[in-house]
Structure 1
Amino acid sequence: MAFAVNQPWIGVILSPGDDGSIVIAQAQRNDFEPELKGGERLNAIGSDTTTGISVNATDIVEEPDTLGSYSELNAFRRQQSALVDIISENRIWLDITSATEGTHRVYVAPQASRPAWALPFEFWLQIFVGFAGMALGGWVWALRRREAGPFFLAVSGVGLMAAAVSAAIYGTRELALPAEQLVMLTVLNQAGSVSWGAAIICLLSVYPRRIAPNAVLVAVWVVSGLAPWIGIAQIAPTPSIGSYTTIIVQLLVIAGLVAIQLSLTRRDPVARAALGWFGLSIMAGSIVFVVAIAVPLLIGLEPQISQAHAFGIVLLFYAGLALGVARYRLFDLGAWAFRLGSYLVGAILLVALDAFLIYGVAVERVPAFGIALLVLGLVYLPLRNAIGGWFDKRPGLTKQGFPQLVEIGLERVPERQSAKWQALLVETFDPLTVQPTTPAAYAALIDDGQGLVVPGHSTLPPLVLQFAAGGRRLFSMHDVGRAQDLVDLVAHALNSSDAHEQGVRKERTRIARDLHDNIGAQLLRTLHTPDVQRKDAIVSETLADLRDIISNVQGDGMALDEVLAELRYETNERLASAGLQLNWRSSGSPAIGVSARLAHTLRSIVREGASNAIRHANAEQLSIEIIENNNEISLTISDNGTGFADAGPKPGHGLENISSRVLGEGGSLSITGASGTRIHARMPLLEGSIA
């Protein structure tokens, strides 16, 4: 940072023109005499005490190593030193050509230092890449300090920082730097680049399997250390070959090491997933570097992206390596690989098509880029979306899975139920092992995706599945979602089955209770009736009650006074046949209606109370009071019989049925046995008018 700002500053942003000239893109100061405007061309620069120097686009080239020969490179360095001598003067002039004013001279006093705010975005991008790479390497090394791989990753981070920071300084200079500083920064850039490559080669030589002895690692560093001297000694055919050949060779070695490691770890899903990050990162970084920078330079064309943007791509490459060594979210690599790979392919197609239009069809840069972008949007992006939809289309529960879930829900033997559940999980995920585990609330991944925890439910135990697809891959977040869906579905099936069983038991209990309270009471009434015709009538009523029981009393509502009148007649007849006297009292509005269910409940309670008085109480009379008030029915049944002890009535179906019926209506019940039996129930009344 200090090195970059401690340079003389004219106060302009320069860019290369299409004809090889220098264009003033923007004036960053307002003290030019006369005023300097963006879009004008810079022809020459000088001062009152020095000879003017003509300038062209070569003087502001971002990467001097891209020049065609070493003679051009040496001339460039001499020109840079001469330009530095000029802009170090107190007052300089700029020969400018504009479309409106023609050629004229502009004066300005250069400042001794360049403000930080005047540094371009590309400078800060490369600085960020350098320090972010070093921080990533240090972070992984801090996490896994006992392993050799993270150490080499940290070393590569230092190399990346050296390469990026040096390139940021000389690549974003305003106009010129002293030749000795340019050489120093270039050597530092090359040394950082080959150090980065050497460290990655050593990393892949020991991680995740060691495939090279320490002597080979030392040899890698020795050979890589000699590489920058090729450029310093200028013994390569061209500066580009001297600078980029070593890097290309290193990338090829790295790709070969990844292939070897993949072969050695074919039975280790975690290591293969980590190498997946390596392979994806190397593919992305290598292809972009080779296609966009190295190949164009080696065949004499201009790079297709700037050096600063190339460093941004290198950071992505390096981040992938760091994530692989840190084993971060290995289980999501497949989806991320497709996304990153598809974007990478799109970028390569865009660059390739743009280069073809410029160099093959001779279309100007701006229209060529627009055409390439249009073709990419109309052709590649729809194809990418279609492929992405196919890629993300993961099978859910198969058609065979639904009958299995139903069978699990209907199976009542816990052992067979658990066996069917495990069979469904094995069919879905094909794990190597299935083992019981501790209870869990939700499905989750463990051990970097090596295991999938499947929570249990009811009689199904919690399980952990190890290694999906027969050990060929790790479990993913998609598998977590699918496992949770299966758990939710089987829980619904089990709950539905339980609800069905409870409904069946409840219905059986209701039928048994109604048979006891109503049919039993009617049959007892028949036994005590001497009149044959009356017996026939009672039997007919009993059959009607039986139909009510079977249909669960789902009929229409009834008038309360009609229900009470029929019930009083029936009860009086039963008691009279048994020699008991009935005291009946009822009150309520004749317009009040009750549901068929409540009417059935009233009849059942009164019949059960009368039956108990006839059979057990040794009573002489039975009193029944039914009062409707404030949308509530109060029912009291009492006799003058023997009652029961304070400890409570003897258990039996009759009183239990009464309690169940009252509670089923949302009411309350009290039963006492002092001085005879007394049953008091209060039940809410759903009011309805009866026409």
Structure 2
Amino acid sequence: MRTPAFLMLVVLLGLSTLAAAGALFVAVNQPWLGIVLIPGDDGSVVISKLQRIDFEQNLSAGERLDAIGSKIDDGIAISAFDIVEDPDTLDSQDTLNAFRARQSALSNIKDQNRVWLDVTSASGNVQRIHIAPFSARPAWSLPFEFWLQLLVGCCGMVLGGWVWILRQREAGPFYLFISGVGLMAAALSAAIYGTRELSMPKELLTVLSGINYAGTVSFGAAIICLLAVYPKRIASDRQLITVWIATALATGASIGQVPFSQYFGVYTVIVVQFVAIGALIVVQLHLSKRNPVARAALGWFGLSILAGTSVFVFAIATPLLIGLEPQVSQASAFGVILLIYVGLALGVARYRLFDLGTWAFRLGSYFIGAILLVGLDAFLIYGVAVERVPAFGIALLIVGLVYLPIRNAIGARLNQTLNLTKQIFPQLVEIALERTPERQIAQWQALLTESFNPLTIETTPTVSKATLIENGQSLLIPGHLNLPSLRLQFANGGRRLFSQRDVDQVQNLVDLITHALDSSDAREQGIRQERTRIARDLHDNIGAQLLRTLHTPDLQRKDTVISETLADLRDIISNAQGNGMALDEVLAELRYETNERLALVGVHLHWHYSGNAQVSISARLAHTLRSVVRECASNTIRHAHATELSIKINQINEGIDLTVSDNGKGFDEASPKLGRGLNNIYSRILGEGGSLSIKGTEGTRIDAHFPLVEGGGV
């Protein structure tokens, strides 16, 4: 981070710390009785907890506090009216002023060195308890709600300021920071007066209430200005100034008690701001339909804003405007408002931008479901006069039977997945079987276009797996064999970003097409290998037999040889894999055939065999052995100018050793020229998992080994 930005962040943290410390200082510098009060069901006040153990007389939790006074005061009767959390919820200006006057009177009593409390026990006994108030309140006695609102205020200002520091040149982050300042002012002031023990001086209460209201409406005005300039500017600077002038006038009117109704004057402005915020989000979504990045970010950010502000509006402001009690405490509402800033931080720092649309729909749909549940519950209780327990059950049933199926249907439509079985798989098979590379590539790109509808598809350097880049604007797809690696830009014709779901789906497509292409390639290789085998067998076996026929003067013998040749031809074509053949029978037939061929050209055969006469070999190995011996005999007859040929076969437990040698002219080992026949011998022996060596001095000598193991000829 650059130094100026770092220094600004340090200053921001320092200011938020000072503000929090100031709020804590004001909160603890109040007289303290050491008791926690809650409203009773009948409008009374009940002592729920004792925070001190030094009381001079017995005082117990659960007793009712009836009155408080001192030696110089007559005493004041206590009611639930005196411990209202937020004075802004009072229905009229006269009631508010009466509340403040009572608060001031109660505060004067607590300022005394000694006060008395009239309490009534659960059994109805009334007693007067004398207490010496502390001049200051210990920090540990402050309730959880105080620290929650302190945290909300500081986090709102720091997170908003952090975004502004990182993007100082843009107007939107500045308004986010201003909204954080407003949230801090509202939350810290509410934390002080909302968690008071019993009372607070009128002047301090009035100032804190004014700060709270000014901070609240400033927060709303800042969010309005933010959405008026981000991501598209839709308002001029003059219009933005008008927003702030209207906010200032509304604040002055409320603090000056101009409206006839206290909460009408306070909460009407908040509701109007909420409606304006929702309308601006809709407008910005419409204007950003061709900008997927802005649309995804706005979807998440807009959800955070609506989630945070709507809880405050629907749980506090709206019930008061229609004459109902607030549904949540002010502290809880501030905690939900923090969602705006936490949501933004999570969207930027934790969740990938291209997944924000999915997250926004999920959280938004659940949030709407919660609002419907609470709204139906409130309607049944206050509008139809149904008891609370059955009302909640009915509301839950309606939401479960009506809303959830609709939500699931919309979610399924928005997050459609590829139907690989019925729609995509046949196309993948067709692509894999296509032999023309150009058409294969065109069909693959057409399938991707049909599945994701990107704005553009272009080739890219090789990638190993499907990957999102540029915050989801582009999707990289790996290639395979003839298919090149591709880059897709902007899904759905530019209306959205690619998401992690798209990555998973396209990787499934890539895995399937890779398997299909490999299978097709293996099939083609198998066909080529089979053709090579047939050509090799025709050369080694049929050629040798025909050469034998050519040198046979006996016509009857020619017929026999031709019959054997046809049998070999059928064996070559079918490549039959029998259950095994006796090695001695194979060698006996091979010896007779070889001797006959050599005798016709005047070459003497020396044949030697040793081994187990009962061993069986596979038809494939028998065919390979015959082919090798025949090819060696043919080379001797045609090229060696030899008078003798020696064939030695030694069968051992693990294999067969074959040695074929002649007394011909041999060849130059320094520069051997292997013909097709010797190459075929190499291929056959190596294909059986064997080994081969050839020497050309003092004639030609071939040493081969065939293993008698699985995959090696048995």
Shift of 1:489: 2.4
Give, in whole Å, the separation in 2 of the partners of 1:373 and 1:56: 35
The 1:326–1:667 alpha-carbon spacing in structure 2 relative to 1, beyond 3 Å, is closer
The 1:391–1:426 alpha-carbon spacing in structure 2 relative to 1, beyond 3 Å, is closer
Aligned to 1:636: 659
Q: Does 1:297 align with 2:320?
A: yes
Out of 39, 47, 51, the position equivalent to 1:24 is: 47
- AA aligned to 2:542 is I
Aligned to 2:259: 236
- AA aligned to 1:197 is G
Aligned to 1:136: 159
**Pairing of 1:163-242 with structure 2 (within 5 A):** 163-242=186-265
Q: Does 1:454 align with 2:477?
A: yes
Q: What secondary structure sits across from 1:7 in the alignment?
A: coil
Give, in whole Å, the separation in 2 of the partners of 1:59 and 1:551: 103
Contact 1:631/1:687 (<8 A) preserved? no
Q: What secondary structure sits across from 1:394 in the alignment?
A: coil
CA RMSD in angstroms comes to 3.0
Aligned to 2:568: 545
Aligned to 1:475: 498
Give, in whole Å, the separation in 2 of the partners of 1:687 and 1:415: 42
Aligned to 2:331: 308
The 1:580–1:10 alpha-carbon spacing in structure 2 relative to 1, beyond 3 Å, is farther
The 1:546–1:6 alpha-carbon spacing in structure 2 relative to 1, beyond 3 Å, is farther
The 1:205–1:378 alpha-carbon spacing in structure 2 relative to 1, beyond 3 Å, is closer
Contact 2:274/2:310 (<8 A) preserved? no
Shift of 1:659: 0.8
The 1:223–1:360 alpha-carbon spacing in structure 2 relative to 1, beyond 3 Å, is closer
Range with greater deviation from structure 2 (141-150 or 58-67): 141-150
Give, in whole Å, the separation in 2 of the partners of 1:578 and 1:399: 67
- AA aligned to 1:547 is R
Aligned to 2:5: none
1:142-191 deviation per Cα after TM superposition (whole angstroms, max 9, x unaligned) = 33222111111112112112212222222222323332222222122112
Aligned to 1:502: 525
Aligned to 1:15: 38
Q: Does 1:96 align with 2:119?
A: yes
Q: What secondary structure sits across from 1:616 in the alignment?
A: helix
Shift of 1:291: 2.4
Shift of 1:119: 3.1
Aligned to 2:12: none
Out of 73, 97, 113, the position equivalent to 1:74 is: 97
- AA aligned to 1:60 is I
Q: What secondary structure sits across from 2:119 in the alignment?
A: strand
Out of 637, 661, 673, the position equivalent to 2:684 is: 661
The 1:374–1:80 alpha-carbon spacing in structure 2 relative to 1, beyond 3 Å, is farther
Give, in whole Å, the separation in 1 of the partners of 2:220 and 2:496: 29
Range with greater deviation from structure 2 (256-265 or 514-523): 256-265
Q: Does 1:268 align with 2:291?
A: yes
Contact 1:150/1:325 (<8 A) preserved? no
**Pairing of 1:330-409 with structure 2 (within 5 A):** 330-362=353-385, 369=392, 372-373=395-396, 376=399, 380-381=403-404, 384-385=407-408, 388-389=411-412, 391-397=414-420, 399=422, 401-409=424-432
Give, in whole Å, the separation in 1 of the partners of 2:396 and 2:70: 45
Give, in whole Å, the separation in 1 of the partners of 2:61 and 2:606: 113
Range with greater deviation from structure 2 (496-505 or 548-557): 548-557
Give, in whole Å, the separation in 1 of the partners of 2:639 and 2:575: 29
1:84-105 deviation per Cα after TM superposition (whole angstroms, max 9, x unaligned) = 3444555554433343464445
1:28-68 deviation per Cα after TM superposition (whole angstroms, max 9, x unaligned) = 44555666554443323345665443222222212111011
Contact 1:134/1:157 (<8 A) preserved? yes
Q: Does 1:560 align with 2:583?
A: yes
Out of 600, 604, 614, the position equivalent to 2:627 is: 604
Give, in whole Å, the separation in 2 of the partners of 1:492 and 1:76: 78
Aligned to 1:284: 307
Aligned to 1:581: 604
Q: What secondary structure sits across from 1:497 in the alignment?
A: helix
Shift of 1:658: 1.0
Give, in whole Å, the separation in 1 of the partners of 2:97 and 2:335: 29
Give, in whole Å, the separation in 2 of the partners of 1:400 and 1:376: 35
Q: Does 1:153 align with 2:170?
A: no
Give, in whole Å, the separation in 1 of the partners of 2:109 and 2:607: 125
Length-normalised TM-score, structure 1: 0.91
Contact 1:594/1:687 (<8 A) preserved? no
Out of 443, 459, 481, the position equivalent to 1:436 is: 459
Out of 613, 625, 628, the position equivalent to 2:636 is: 613
Q: What secondary structure sits across from 2:640 in the alignment?
A: coil
The 1:193–1:54 alpha-carbon spacing in structure 2 relative to 1, beyond 3 Å, is same
* Stretches of structure 1 lacking an aligned partner (at least 5 in a row): none
Aligned to 2:512: 489
Q: Does 1:2 align with 2:13?
A: no
- AA aligned to 1:332 is D
Aligned to 1:520: 543
Shift of 1:377: 5.5
Shift of 1:240: 0.9
Shift of 1:340: 1.8
Give, in whole Å, the separation in 2 of the partners of 1:348 and 1:313: 13
1:603-657 deviation per Cα after TM superposition (whole angstroms, max 9, x unaligned) = 1111111111121111121222222234122221111111100225322111111
Contact 2:577/2:620 (<8 A) preserved? yes
Length-normalised TM-score, structure 2: 0.88
The 1:674–1:51 alpha-carbon spacing in structure 2 relative to 1, beyond 3 Å, is farther
Out of 653, 668, 672, the position equivalent to 1:645 is: 668
* Stretches of structure 2 lacking an aligned partner (at least 5 in a row): 1-23
- Which stretches of structure 1, 4 residues or more, deviate above 6 A after TM superposition? 321-328
Query: In the comparison of the two structures, how many residue pairs are matched?
Result: 688
The 1:44–1:667 alpha-carbon spacing in structure 2 relative to 1, beyond 3 Å, is farther
Q: What secondary structure sits across from 1:208 in the alignment?
A: coil
Contact 1:443/1:480 (<8 A) preserved? yes
1:559-605 deviation per Cα after TM superposition (whole angstroms, max 9, x unaligned) = 33333333223222322233222222222223433222222211111
The 1:377–1:258 alpha-carbon spacing in structure 2 relative to 1, beyond 3 Å, is closer
Give, in whole Å, the separation in 1 of the partners of 2:307 and 2:633: 91
Aligned to 1:124: 147
Contact 1:277/1:324 (<8 A) preserved? yes
Give, in whole Å, the separation in 1 of the partners of 2:198 and 2:615: 101
Q: What secondary structure sits across from 1:212 in the alignment?
A: coil
Q: Does 1:64 align with 2:92?
A: no
- AA aligned to 2:205 is L
Out of 668, 685, 688, the position equivalent to 2:708 is: 685
- AA aligned to 1:127 is L
Contact 1:13/1:26 (<8 A) preserved? yes
Give, in whole Å, the separation in 1 of the partners of 2:149 and 2:329: 11
1:217-275 deviation per Cα after TM superposition (whole angstroms, max 9, x unaligned) = 23322332333322321121122122222222222333333344344444433333333
Shift of 1:507: 0.6
Q: What secondary structure sits across from 1:441 in the alignment?
A: coil
- AA aligned to 2:449 is V
Give, in whole Å, the separation in 2 of the partners of 1:160 and 1:126: 10
Give, in whole Å, the separation in 1 of the partners of 2:280 and 2:406: 33
Shift of 1:111: 4.4
Range with greater deviation from structure 2 (385-394 or 673-682): 385-394
Out of 694, 697, 701, the position equivalent to 1:671 is: 694
- AA aligned to 2:462 is P
Aligned to 2:185: 162
- AA aligned to 1:350 is L
Give, in whole Å, the separation in 1 of the partners of 2:50 and 2:263: 33
Give, in whole Å, the separation in 1 of the partners of 2:87 and 2:230: 36
Contact 1:595/1:686 (<8 A) preserved? no
Range with greater deviation from structure 2 (253-262 or 385-394): 385-394
- AA aligned to 2:82 is D
- AA aligned to 1:53 is I
